[in-house]
């Protein structure tokens, strides 16, 4: 039995995980009204591939700065750098505020997160991440603690030289998405990956350097109960490392 999404019309291209999530919502409602037991024998969750994700090679990672330099999005490069160096999720980066960034002690305190274990965790900044944020903060001399590190803004081009300029910046709202800029930069960098794979790359680098599972789990915001499973899911070792 194939489940039809609750919101809107049926989408034949919906991922199995998306369908399972909506089925889970329906199941909770039916259980609340003592109706699920009658349907349960005829309904199965769709298979979900658990090993989706890749880790960038060193060369692929090195292709991003040049590709970002040609992007009209001024915030994409620092966002990519932080994702690679801290493992922060897309949503955690979007909602990051300056009050959560301590450049003196070189640490970020995560606010809103996908998981309870992820909220409030401290993530240290290495030299590259610190330098990136130190440069980025100079773009906002009037920033306030409650302002977003990556604020909502528009991009326009000058009439003569077609130089991208940010305008209409609203520091009280986070950037909506890097989706369009990310697709272009990824193509120019000749890298086929998702933004979330930057987090996979960070985890892989940590494990290659023999950082202990509990430490990686703490940095990524995984619960103790899931850290081994998540580490296996996120680690993508090269053949040379495995050998």
CATH number at residue 164: 1.10.443.10
Write phi, then psi, for 160 (nearest 5 degrees).
-90, -60
Give the per-residue pLDDT at 5: 43
Number of domains in the chain: 2
73 and 147 inside one domain: yes
Range of the domain at 33: 1-48
Quote the pTM value.
0.77
In 33-145, which ranges are continuous DSSP H helix? Answer: 36-39, 58-69, 76-86, 90-94, 127-137
82: which 2 tokens?
């932080």
Give the per-residue pLDDT at 20: 83
For each successive 10 residues of the chain (243 residues), what is the average pLDDT?
43 72 87 88 79 87 93 94 96 96 96 84 96 96 96 80 79 93 94 94 93 92 84 77 66
d(CA 68, CA 79): 11
Give the per-residue pLDDT at 4: 44
141 and 191 inside one domain: yes
């Amino acid at each position: 039995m194939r489940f039809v999404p609750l919101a809107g019309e049926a989408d034949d291209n919906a991922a199995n995980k998306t369908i399972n999530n909506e089925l889970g919502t329906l199941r909770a409602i039916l259980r609340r009204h003592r109706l699920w037991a009658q349907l349960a024998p005829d309904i199965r969750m769709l298979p979900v591939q658990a090993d989706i994700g890749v880790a960038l090679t060193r060369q692929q990672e090195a292709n991003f700065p040049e590709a970002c330099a040609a992007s009209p999005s001024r915030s994409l490069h620092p966002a990519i750098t932080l994702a690679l160096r801290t493992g922060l999720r897309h949503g955690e980066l979007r909602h990051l505020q300056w009050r959560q960034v301590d450049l003196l002690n070189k640490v970020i305190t995560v606010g809103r997160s996908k998981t309870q274990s992820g909220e409030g965790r401290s993530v240290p900044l290495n030299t590259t991440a610190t330098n990136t944020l130190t440069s980025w903060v100079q773009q906002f001399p009037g920033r306030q603690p409650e302002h977003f590190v990556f604020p909502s803004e528009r991009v326009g081009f000058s009439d003569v030289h077609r130089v991208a300029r940010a305008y209409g910046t609203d520091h009280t709202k986070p950037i909506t998405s890097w989706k369009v800029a990310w697709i272009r930069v990824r193509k120019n960098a000749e890298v086929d990956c998702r933004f979330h794979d930057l987090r996979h790359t960070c985890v892989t680098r940590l494990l290659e350097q023999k950082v202990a599972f509990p430490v990686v789990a703490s940095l990524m915001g995984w619960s103790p109960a899931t850290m081994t499973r998540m580490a296996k899911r996120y680690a993508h070792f090269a053949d040379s490392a495995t050998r």
